[in-house]
Structures are given as structure tokens and as C-alpha cells.
Amino acid sequence: MAAGANRPDHHGIIERIVDHPAQTRSLFIRLPREHALSFIPGQFISLVLPLGGQRALRPYSIASDPEQGDLLEIVLNLVPGGLGSSYLFACRTGQELTFTGPYGLFTLENAPVTETVFVARETAIAPIRPMIRRALAAGTCAPLHLLYAAAREETILYREELTELARGDSRLRFDPVITDDFAWPGMRGPLIDRLRELYLRADERRDRQFYICGVGPEVLAMRDLLRQNGYARKAVQYEKW
């Protein structure tokens, strides 16, 4: 993620902090209602943090819905040796945060008209969560499939919410993929293997679209796999952290 340097600053107060397993945390940032942020699902903000005596920018995807632009949720891991995450994990409710944005083209503004597959690992669910909620809120929507990987069952973020969304709306299929627990009864193993199995080997269709988000080379490997096997370049959107 990259952000421009000439956007005006926004200011918000940390209203709530929610801790998740595996040193993962949600921060809820309250903005004045008259300064609510207008953004598209999938976009991110850049927090302005005082690190080492300098103004440092740290990008975080917005995990909440645009319909409530005066209360933003971001999700982050505590990164060993990471100055930005260490600073944010030391923050308390009532503390002010400054940020710029929104930024980003990894977005879904309208309900998909063709089958759409969302692929994420752990905190990379953040930009995809509001995409799915926006799509399901539309009157008409093509089938959606979420492949969401985590190391263990307890590190699946928003699991109850996503399960309820899929249970209550037949347009959404939700498959958690567990990578480090061989006792897990559902999908296991690398995400790229699940993509190959479900969307290359299972049929000859190549009219789906994909939104892939994650950390490191895995994202590019999944992108290339799909594009090199018949899916159009513009049909495979991705965000690599």
C-alpha cells in the first residue's frame, strides 16, 4: 500500500480497543460526525505516527463499513520489532490519532454481476469484509465465495459474523482454510492449492472475478496462477502488503 503526501490530515479518538488472539487488535477510531470519512470498501488510511522524532506513515485497511464513516475500524498485528505496531499497541482509549486518506484502488463499489471469489489470510480480511457486506446489501448480487485462511481456528477474525452472513444469505459461501491444524475438519493447506482445485481443475469456466489480499509473495503467486490459466488480467484484483 502506498499513500500520497498532500492529503489533509484527519483526527479521531480511539473509542474502543478489541483484542483478538495471536497478538492481533482492532482499534475503533471515532471522528466528529461532521467530518465522517467518505470511502469505498477496500480502501485504506495512513496513520501519522510520531516514530523516532519524525512523522511516519503506516497504512491500514479500513475493516468497517462506509455507511458509518465516523467510526473506523482498523486491524493490526503486533510485529516483533515493528515501531508502528508497537506504538499502536501502547495506545489507550481516549487517545487521538491522526491519519490521511482514504487511498487505494483495491475496491468494490457496486454489487458484482459475475461470480466473485474473495481470498484473504488473517488480518488481510480487513478490506474484504466491507466489500462482502456492501455486495450483500445490494438488491441483486452474483454468487460470492470467501476463502479465508488462518493458522488455527481461533485466529479466524470475524468468524461468527461471517458464518452468520453466509447462513442467512445463500449468495455467500464462506470457507475457512486452516493451515497449521491437521485436525481441522474443513479445508486445510495452502490457499493456492485451494484455488487450483476449485477454480482451475473443477471446471473450464474463466468468467469469475477475484479479490486477493495478503502478505508477501503468496499473493503474487495466486494472481499469476489465475492469470496464466485463462482468467483475464482485470478479473484478478489483488493487494499485497
The CATH number covering residue 57 comes to 2.40.30.10
pLDDT given for residue 1 in this prediction = 54
92 & 198 share domain: no
127 & 99 share domain: no
Q: Could you read off the pLDDT of 162-211 as tens digits, one per residue?
A: 999 999 999 999 999 999 888 899 999 999 999 999 999 999 999 999 99
pTM of the model: 0.94
* Tally of domains in the chain: 2
Does residue 86 sit within a domain?
yes
67 & 182 share domain: no
62 & 162 share domain: no
pLDDT given for residue 141 in this prediction = 87
Residue indicated by cell numbers 490457499: 191
Q: Tell me, what CATH number does 222's domain have?
A: 3.40.50.80
77 & 138 share domain: no
- From 103, 128, 145, give the residue that closes a domain: 103
Q: Could you read off the pLDDT of 93-143 as tens digits, one per residue?
A: 999 999 999 999 999 998 899 999 999 999 999 999 999 999 999 877 899
Does residue 1 sit within a domain?
no
Please report, to the nearest 10 degrees, the dihedral formed by the alpha carbons of residues 178, 183, 185, 191 taken in order. 20
Does residue 109 sit within a domain?
no
- Count of other CB atoms within 10 angstroms of residue 241: 16
Structural domain range at position 55: 10-103
- From 72, 103, 134, give the residue that closes a domain: 103
Q: Could you read off the pLDDT of 209-227 as tens digits, one per residue?
A: 999 999 999 999 999 999 9
What's the mean pLDDT when you consider all of the chain?
95
- From 103, 130, 161, give the residue that closes a domain: 103
> Is the pLDDT assigned to residue 5 strictly greater than 80?
no
> Could you tell me the pLDDT band of residue 4, with boundaries at 50, 70 and 90?
very low
